[in-house]
Amino acid sequence: MADVAHPAGGAHGADTSRRDFLTLTAAALGAVGAGSAVWPFIDSMNPAKDTLALATTEVDIAPIALGQRLTVVWRGKPVFIDHRPPEAVKLAADVKLSDLVDPQKDSDRVKKPEWLVIVGVCTHLGCIPLGQKSTDDRGLYGGWFCPCHGSMYDTSGRIRQGPAPQNLVVPPYDFTSDTQIKIG
């Protein structure tokens, strides 16, 4: 078979490589354009900065005196921070697990015995228990008392009496220093 000359007068191989180059370039530019068009949509699915800011809460615990309790907000919920005196720590540690509705050791609920960090929402119907102020009714166990239905929690935030089915929740938290807690 005889070689056929290209009608434009050029070599067939040069046109093929030029066409392949243009095809690849157009495909690459199309992919970049499609990515640029789709990226704002994908990025809009990320949480907003104000939402991310609520995901964690940093708390300076240095000013909290021994025996004092502080309430902070994390993810729209109250979090109770209790700087427990030694007698409250001992009282919580000495409770028999068989006496508890939701058995849990005090040592499993705290990272440092003198600091208790719990979500201040009653596990019965979502009320906020009393006990953060020194003048509040703290119930029979010295912890927190939910006046709505009578749930009583001890100095470790464990349910001791009333309709609440579970202990007050311990949120994820870490000590970032001796005087700082990061919740969340």
Task: Tell me the catalytic residues.
Answer: 149
User: Which amino acid is it at 78?
Assistant: P
Cβ pair 121, 168 in contact under 8 A: yes
3-state DSSP call for residue 49?
A: helix
Beta bridge partners of 154: 142
How far apart CA 99 and CA 96 sit, in angstroms, is 5
In sequence order, which residues have a C-beta less than 8 Å from that of residue 164 and are 6 or more positions away? 101, 122, 123, 124, 146, 149, 151, 153
Cβ pair 161, 150 in contact under 8 A: yes
Listed residue (113, 131, 114) closest to 122, CA to CA: 131
**What end-to-end distance do the CA atoms of the chain give, in Å?**
77
Cβ pair 124, 161 in contact under 8 A: no
